[in-house]
Structure formats: structure tokens, C-alpha cells
């Protein structure tokens, strides 16, 4: 079982989503918590050339969750939660 941690930015991002759309935020929360049992779920993508080394991405509707996995310590670090349209700016 992996432990999930949110970076300050991810925590801020998720709080912002809760203020704008609580239902999507709850879905994002469920997907993040599912990473405890499967840190690389079907449909996740390893990001090459991203500013964070060995980062993965999962898509939740029009949001993207960027995270890293530390298998040695059984740790998942959520780095960013953002709208897809903001991801490419």
C-alpha cells in the first residue's frame, strides 16, 4: 500500500477546484486515493520532457493530475492538479 502526499501547489490547486466544482473535486479525490493501491493505473502516462523527472499523468475529465512515484518508500507525491487548458501554457 502506497501513501499519497500532496505538494503545496497540488493542495492549493485542489482547493481551487473545490471552490469552483465540488463534484469534480470529489472525483479527483477518489482517483488520487485510488493511487494508494495502484500508483500506475491503466490510462496513466509517463511524461517525458516534463519539468519534474519521472512524472506521471492521469486524466480526470478536463483535469490533469501530475504526480511522481517512489517505489522504494511506497510513496506517491501529487505535484499538480490543473485544467487541461492550463497545462499547456
> Can you give the CATH number for the domain in which 36 is found?
3.30.2310.20
Residue % of the chain over a pLDDT of 90: 84
pLDDT attached to residue 40:
96
Angstrom distance (rounded) from CA 55 to CA 84: 16
Q: Are 26 and 17 in contact (CB under 8 A)?
A: no
SS3 content of the chain, % helix, strand, coil (to 5): 35, 35, 35
Q: Are 60 and 28 in contact (CB under 8 A)?
A: yes
For 57-89, how does the pLDDT look when each residue is reduced to its tens digit (9 = 90+)?
999 999 999 999 999 999 999 999 999 876 554
Angstrom distance (rounded) from CA 37 to CA 24: 21
Number of domains the chain contains = 1
Q: Are 55 and 80 in contact (CB under 8 A)?
A: no
Does the pLDDT value for residue 49 go beyond 90? no
For residue 52, what are the domain limits?
A: 3-87
Amino acid at each position: 500500500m502506497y501513501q499519497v502526499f500532496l505538494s503545496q501547489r497540488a493542495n492549493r490547486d485542489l482547493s481551487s477546484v473545490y471552490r469552483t466544482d465540488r463534484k469534480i473535486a470529489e472525483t479527483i479525490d477518489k482517483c488520487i486515493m485510488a493511487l494508494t493501491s495502484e500508483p500506475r493505473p491503466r490510462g496513466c502516462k509517463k511524461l517525458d520532457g516534463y519539468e519534474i523527472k519521472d512524472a506521471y499523468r492521469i486524466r480526470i475529465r478536463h483535469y490533469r493530475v501530475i504526480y511522481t512515484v517512489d517505489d522504494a518508500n511506497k510513496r506517491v507525491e501529487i505535484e499538480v492538479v490543473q485544467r487541461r487548458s492550463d497545462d499547456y501554457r
